[in-house]
Structure 1
């Protein structure tokens, strides 16, 4: 008989999703106020240098993710999931709060950008551990037949953070003038994110250690050596497939972040107000699609769900990008929303990774693969894809998503190999 989620399971899922939501909230807020931060922290006679320094400060958090992810995951496999889970969120909330309280260049000179850079590095340390810990934590708490919906709830939480970030940024633009924002109001979103993060840390105190870890601890079955060495020695094929699967996550970056910029570009010249509304609806549809993918995984299995969503995302996203030349905005908005629903395929990625590693090295396997994959593929996408699309042809973005969908189909087939055991 299939087990249902208990109230304790529901509490675990909701509190586990908060950290991921905060991560992506910070992602949107920093980018939204990048021009303001540039003026306040990186004044320079060269506009190019100021811009580069601002975005390099933003990007530094992603550069330190692989190392911090492996280190935090190592301790999560040896001393407990909950301790690392609490620490990673605390390490994300405090720097976010501090950014909102930092003195600017006008007050303390060059120390201001150094402090901002330091806060971003600390956030990067936290980022490396938060999302992998969340997925492993919920996986080991819920019944195995609810594996899909549990992990998709974490994925939906990440996207919900994007939604909150967009909402807060929109309300800020409505409530404050450009002068007020530059003077003091820019601090509000960061302070809000930090306070919410500390509240989430407090609430996580009531979470329990995972039954899987407690059972390993009781049976003295915890990993005796260094989990990372075991992965590199005995689980190289799994680590490669897990890292490759994170490339699928970049479909979300392309469709949710790059597509709106393309729609507003000189190529298509769509009204910014329409594009912003369409992006909000698309983000919401991605939340619905992620949860739907999780439900289908529990009902029909990971491989079938992954295959189906990959095919349908390929079809709907290609039709959407082809519609951008149309003057029918309603049509464009509807197609964007439908494609974003099937972007729920991103919820399948952590499920692919988790099932590849046994419990005693699961968090290290997840932390290593997830963060290395993000560092490599997110960098390639965010820097190269927009440039190629602008220089050669805007439909390159559509072709890139088709490639990612083909990767999803390949993974759905490869996961069926008998030589690749599943540990879930």
Structure 2
């Protein structure tokens, strides 16, 4: 790709998709699927495995769960560190190298978790080692997601920009679907005693092995044409990239942070918390039905990301975000309002599918975020704003969700739609962002 094939904003010009583009998209999406699977599989086993096996029986059940979820949160809190470091070198030495490193950094700790001794074997060293592995996972995912989005944004032709990023995002979120499917298979093949004794290790070991395969596959990817162009013109950022981001691109960071709040709440509450805590805890659905419902939402999320990415290319950012985030605001309220103890599984799965489709609105975050910064600091800008915001909002979201679901607090008799109210609120923030010119057009070079 020559300089003439790159826009002034640092994005590929319009051209037909070629076989190399398709290969890049497939390999990037596959790696993202496996890496996000590795990250979320812990969440699906927190209450069942981590709490009983990695902490002493002398602790109360509440305390065990508190520590187990604390280790889960640690993965989010360390994300900014890994993201900023990897993004720094991604802007300095190349996108591809950091893109490959992030998968390797995820695969190893995931495999180690799968063979980690429990509390009964090594005492308090077990939860300490689990915490360290979880922090390494967090550092990896902090670099992976912004790196993957930038990598595809700088490879995909202008007229397929939304579709490319939406497809990649669907691959990443497909890791959630894969996690649900693997846990369902484990539940069907093994008894609860067998799962506690050894079978819980299988998903982690599988994830580690496939992660190593992903590292190998990413060797066949090429550096982005945008980075090559910057390097050839000696136009790489000469200062520390994140410093330039903080000094010169605060508004872009704000937009990314707002959309990250919308994305993180949608994924955490709508996809990860709802199956177990709401469907299982409040409406007493059997575990297998909760996991199937989670599968339906996750499947439609992956399809929704592709759909709203495609729609971006057809109708533009503002109208796409009105439809995507506005639709999520409406369907989230409807979904949680219609849940009931006597609801049929068929009706539940249909409602999960409709709600899940609009959770695909999250694909608009990387679409807006990757073009909100100039190419020389694009990776650092997106990673800094995204990971800091994700760490902040992931820390408050579980507590805020439980607060809204409690009838003794803010919503009173309407607490049963508390999760829907929270998701609808952040979805409306997404609609508002769609009206901002920087979100619609992206960073523009200053004319001389």
Do they fold alike, i.e. is TM over 0.5? yes
Residue 31 of structure 1 and its aligned partner are, at CA, apart by 2.4
Residue 422 of structure 1 and its aligned partner are, at CA, apart by 4.8
The more displaced of 81-90 and 37-46 is: 37-46
Report the Cα distance in structure 1 between the residues aligned to 2:279 and 2:134, rounded to whole angstroms: 30
Residue number in structure 2 paired with 1:210: 224
- Of residues 55, 76, 81 in structure 2, which corresponds to 1:67? 81
| 1:350 lines up with 2:361 in the alignment | no
Report the Cα distance in structure 2 between the residues aligned to 1:419 and 1:174, rounded to whole angstroms: 49
Residue number in structure 2 paired with 1:265: 281
- Of residues 44, 53, 59 in structure 2, which corresponds to 1:32? 44
Number of aligned residues:
422
**Structure 2 CA distance for partners of 1:23 and 1:202, relative to 1, 3 Å:** closer
Residue number in structure 2 paired with 1:410: 432
SS, match of residue 306 in structure 2: helix
- Of residues 86, 98, 109 in structure 1, which corresponds to 2:112? 98
Report the Cα distance in structure 2 between the residues aligned to 1:3 and 1:332, rounded to whole angstroms: 43
SS, match of residue 224 in structure 1: coil
Unmatched tracts of structure 1, length 5 or more = none
Report the Cα distance in structure 1 between the residues aligned to 2:106 and 2:439, rounded to whole angstroms: 39
**Structure 2 CA distance for partners of 1:355 and 1:281, relative to 1, 3 Å:** same
Residue 294 of structure 1 and its aligned partner are, at CA, apart by 0.7
- Of residues 313, 318, 327 in structure 2, which corresponds to 1:298? 313
Report the Cα distance in structure 2 between the residues aligned to 1:277 and 1:418, rounded to whole angstroms: 37
SS, match of residue 239 in structure 2: coil
Alpha carbons 2:368, 2:440 under 8 Å: kept: no
1:54-112 CA-partner distances (Å, limit 9, x unpaired): 22222211111112211110110001001111111100001101111222233333322
Residue 32 of structure 1 and its aligned partner are, at CA, apart by 2.8
Residue 26 of structure 1 and its aligned partner are, at CA, apart by 2.6
- Of residues 169, 174, 186 in structure 1, which corresponds to 2:200? 186
Residue 179 of structure 1 and its aligned partner are, at CA, apart by 2.3
1:356-413 CA-partner distances (Å, limit 9, x unpaired): 1010000000110110111111222122212321243121222212212210111011
Report the Cα distance in structure 2 between the residues aligned to 1:316 and 1:302, rounded to whole angstroms: 21
Unmatched tracts of structure 2, length 5 or more = 1-12, 410-414
Q: TM-score, normalised by structure 2?
A: 0.89
1:26-47 CA-partner distances (Å, limit 9, x unpaired): 3442123323233332124012
Report the Cα distance in structure 2 between the residues aligned to 1:26 and 1:297, rounded to whole angstroms: 29
| 1:371 lines up with 2:393 in the alignment | no
**Structure 2 CA distance for partners of 1:40 and 1:419, relative to 1, 3 Å:** closer
Report the Cα distance in structure 2 between the residues aligned to 1:137 and 1:162, rounded to whole angstroms: 21
Residue number in structure 2 paired with 1:338: 354
Aligned-residue Cα RMSD (Å) equals 2.1
